[in-house]
A and B are shown apart, each in its own frame.
Chain A
Amino acid sequence: MSAQLEIRGLSVVYRDAGEERELLQDISLDLQRGEILGLVGESGSGKSLLCRTVIGLMPSRSLTMTAGTVTLDGVAIHDTDMAGLRGRRIGMIFQNPTSHLDPVMTIGKQIAEGLRHHKRLSAVAAKAEAIGLLRQVGFPDPGRAYGSYAHEFSGGMRQRAMIAVALACDPEILIADEPTTALDVTIQAQILRLLIELRDRRGLSIILITHDLGVVAQSCDRIAVMRAGRIVEEGEKRALLADPRHPYTRQLIDSHPTMTHAGDEPAPHPHDRKPIFEIDDLRVHFPAGGGFLTPKREFQALKGVSLRVWPGETVGIVGESGSGKSTLARAILGLTRITSGQVSFEGHVLTRDPKATLKHLHHGAAMVFQDPFNALNPRLTIGETLAEVLRTQGETPAAEIETRIGELLDMVGLERSYATRRPRSMSGGQCQRAGIARALAVNPRVIIADECVAALDVTIQAQIVALFRDLIARTGLTLIFIAHDLAIVRTLCERVVVMHHGAIVEEGPSARIFARPEQAYTAALIAAVPDIDPDRPLNGGQTTLQQESAT
């Protein structure tokens, strides 16, 4: 049987100002009719570029396809009318539906646009067809969704809309570029299920680009692993996951914070001393809308949260976006105005004596942020950034700052030469290490890490988690680790706090929470994490969907 889509010997070269780099090298790949092919690799491996090349939408003019052919049903597609092919025979969905949907055009019109262009439907027929599509991808009220704009929907619904746009003209192939990366796990599970369902119903062939082996294991039939512009390994899903041949594939599998290893959780922390953080009935409300002569409304980001954190403990705070976990972190560091309740740090009450407590916090607590690039000042070298913190803190004599910077870089596993580098010339993982070094510079007793590995590749994630584990063992640091990724929290944290809609729904030792969650929400969250073992199917998401439609 010949493949539906055949890529043979494809190479793409980047040329700019005399510089020449081969970004894709001699790639050959087949997509069979009706299969879901997982294209896995870390950032910069060329997986997105490969798919963009296939549909002739190179992201830059400096890129050229220098060799190779792509054939669709035996016809070389770069010779044919590319624009007639896009949308009509090959549809594409993207990682960020928010930026890819036109903000000033209704969702319905974006679907109808393709139908009218490719299928020459009348306005009325296109609208009817578009509403049917919106129903198929799971909009409860497709008629209303047709006239709505992207910003009126949640991230998951926007991705559904994007899928409807891509499927409008009934393409045979769907290219999905990291379609679930920006979504919460429960929503991710729903979208993956939708893709599988659409494949079954329409006989669609799907190329699913992802960095997450768990996603691939749960949804694909075949896997191709990419690294540095090459396909290093390709094969049937189960065979490849069970017996990876290439060392890089093995490394990817080993780095994956899989859910299957029960009993690996750290033992609960002894609560024998006075808590370092005591949070009682903390409420944070933000003004939402309202203004001159219009009624003021507020959004309750935290609705009465009480929590204790003991010295040396590692606490994971998990929850979906909008659950209030970042607000909690900001509030206990005094970065957000507290509406009511009490926060105390080592006996200093933030809400009673803010000035003294803040001073104490600045010397005892530090934060590591999600986006390692933007959290560092681009104009300063890493050494200057660290020196600034050391000088401000004022505990290191000027003469010793240099030595101290060296020590800090050693601690986070960066070479000392990085002191003279700027964030721009460093990778995401290196920047995050620098961010951690900056946090360590104040000699903190607590580090609050807010989604600090979410933007990193799995292998780098594993390294950063190992770094934290090492720092805790060596320095007795207290770590509050905020993440949406339950698998990482499970392996790193002694205690887990689950948040939902601004409140804590459940907390307890990691082993207990993951083995026997008491709340339905926690169970749904855990079940939605795509396991790297294909035989542990996705069963999450369903409950939240029911909850959502019930509310």
Chain B
Amino acid sequence: MHRYRFILFRPLQFIPVLFGISIITFVLVRLIPGDPARILLGTRATPTAIAKIRAQYGLDDPMWMQYLYFLKNLAAGEMGKSTLYKIDVLRLIATRIEPTLALVVMGVVLALLIAVPFAALSARRQGGLADHGVRLVSTAGIGFPSFWLGAMLILLFSIRLDWLPVSGYGETPVDKLQHLILPGLTIALSLSAVLTRSLRAGMIAGLSSDVATAARARGMPENTVFWRHVVPNALVPTVNLLAVNIGWLIGGTVVVESVFAVPGLGQLMVRGIFSRDYMVVQGVALTFAVATVLINFAADIITVALDPRIKL
């Protein structure tokens, strides 16, 4: 089990990484032009009122001091008060994290459900009609922007066919699931295009590999050769590709949540940016960064579990 020992040690490496992330997000957020106090109070605010707000939120202090306050608050479990929502950002994030999390999981699961069979179909009939079709669609899939794809899906499934809700997020679990199908599919379609291409290449290599030849030589039926020997070997690089794409996927939720009006972190982020709500933008960016780090960690664990040769 020493191959899994990195699970204990790796989190120690997160400390400097998270430290760096916190500095970068902190500085970047403050590069956004505009004065949050002025935006909060509106255009007719008096200079004294603005000054008062600035003092109240610590906006007059030098940036390094603001950063130290930020760290101190973080240690106490607070991310600072949102200028827009008037509550602590951490509590705000806690209420918004569920739809986003569900959306990402839905996106990845749907993407795999699409990618594995299509890649298999394509690889096993390499050069055939199905293969050309899958390659065409997956190449096109990479090209479609998700805001357009999302709008098209709404048009087809919600407005024309009236099968699924147009936008928003439900109350009961079933209701929520229904609301997540279209945004999840939007994410999955772009992601599965990338995954299909990688899986197809891995499967094609696997089908003519020595491992497959040896399995055929001991009389295994072609289906067994494929699903038991070729696919597991092709999955290893795909998991890594998925992990690399996670950052891009999280960025994608920002757009998709806006298109489908899902009340998640992405939507919160967009609102935060428009209202110069530093604390919200910073908090959400930090959450996204932490999520990316954790997901990559999870991908490493999966890779080690899939491939017994890998030691981390």
* Contact (Cβ within 8 A) B209 A83: no
Which residues of B have CB within 8 Å of A117? 219-221, 224
From known contacts A86-B217, A293-B12, infer whether A113 and B228 are also in contact, taking CB-CB under 8 Å. yes
Picked from B217, B229, B311, the residue with its CB within 8 Å of the CB of A87 is: B217
Within 8 A of B (CB), among A152-190: 162, 165-166, 168-169
The answer on a CB contact under 8 Å between A149 and B309 is: yes
**B214 pairs with A101, CB closer than 8 A:** yes
Chain A 82-99 residues near chain B, CB threshold 8 A: 83-88, 91-92, 94, 96, 99
Cβ contacts under 8 Å, A91 to chain B: 217-218
- Bound-state Cα–Cα, A168 to B309, Å: 25
Q: Indicate whether A292 sits within 8 Å of B229 (C-beta atoms), given known contacts A55-B217, A57-B213, A84-B219.
A: no
> How far apart sit A168 and B224, CA to CA, in the bound complex (Å)?
17
Q: A57 and B308: CB pair below 8 A?
A: no
Residues of B within 8 A of A104 (CB): 232-233, 236, 306-309
- Chain B residues whose CB sits within 8 angstroms of the CB of A292 once the complex forms: 9, 12-13
Q: Contacts A104-B306, A149-B309 known; A99 to B211 CB distance under 8 Å?
A: yes
Contact of A114 with B218 in the complex, beta carbons under 8 Å: yes
Q: Does B210 contact A (CB under 8 A)?
A: yes
Interface size on B, residues (CB 8 A): 27
Question: Using Cβ atoms and an 8 Å threshold, which residues of chain A touch B232?
Answer: 102, 104-105
Chain A residue numbers with a CB within 8 Å of B308 are 103-104, 149, 151
A308 within 8 A of B: no
Pair B209/A87 contact, Cβ less than 8 Å: no
How far, in angstroms, from A91 to B219 measured CA to CA in the complex?
A: 9
Chain B proximity of A60: nearest CB distance (Å): 9
Q: A118 near B: Cβ within 8 Å? A: yes
A85's contact among B219, B220, B224, by CB below 8 Å, is which? B219
Tell me which residues across on chain A come within 8 A of B91, comparing CB atoms: none
A104 nearest CB neighbor, chain B only = B232
Determine whether the beta carbon of B228 is less than 8 Å from that of A101.
no
A289 within 8 A of B: yes
The yes or no answer to B216 lying at the interface (CB within 8 A) is: yes
Using CB atoms, name the residue of chain B closest to A96.
B210
Which residues of chain A have C-beta atoms less than 8 A from B39's C-beta? Answer: none
B-chain residues with CB within 8 Å of residue A92 when the two chains form the complex? 214, 217-218
- Tell me the number of A-to-B contacts counted with CB atoms below 8 Å: 93
Whether B215 is near chain A, meaning CB under 8 Å from some CB there, is yes
Within the assembled complex, what's the spacing in Å between the Cα atoms of A502 and B232? 38
Q: Does A2 sit within 8 A of B, measured CB to CB? A: no
Question: Known: A103-B309, A104-B308, A293-B9. Contact between A165 and B228, CB under 8 A?
Answer: no
Q: Within 8 Å CB of A105, what residues of B?
A: 228-229, 232
Q: List 10 A-B contacts (CB under 8 A).
A: A83-B220, A87-B217, A91-B218, A103-B308, A104-B232, A104-B307, A113-B220, A149-B309, A166-B218, A293-B12
Q: A103-B308, A169-B218 are in contact. List 6 more A-B contacts (CB 8 A).
A: A83-B216, A83-B220, A87-B218, A91-B218, A102-B211, A103-B309
Tell me whether A120 is interfacial, beta carbon within 8 Å.
no
Among B217, B228, B306, point to the contact of A57 (Cβ < 8 A). Answer: B217
For B229, list chain A residues within 8 Å (CB): 102, 105
Closest A residue to B307 by beta carbon equals A104
Q: A85 — nearest CB in chain B belongs to which residue?
A: B219
Q: A547: which B residues are within 8 A, CB to CB?
A: none
Q: What are the residues of chain A within 8 A of B213 when measuring CB–CB?
A: 57, 59, 94, 100
Q: CB distance A99 to B217 under 8 Å? A: no
Establish whether residues A57 and B216, one from each chain, have CB atoms under 8 Å apart when the complex forms: yes
B20 to chain A: closest CB distance in Å? Answer: 16
Q: Is A420 part of the binding interface, using a Cβ–Cβ cutoff of 8 Å?
A: no
**Cβ of B9: which chain A residues have Cβ within 8 Å of it?**
292-294
Expressed in whole angstroms, the Cα–Cα distance for A36 and B73 within the complex equals 79
Rounded to whole angstroms, the CA-CA distance of A100 and B308 in the bound complex is 16
Separation of A102 and B213 alpha carbons in the complex (Å): 11
Complex Cα–Cα for A85 and B217 (A): 9
B-facing residues in A35-89 (Cβ within 8 Å) = 55, 57, 59, 83-88
- Are B211 and A101 touching (Cβ within 8 A)? yes
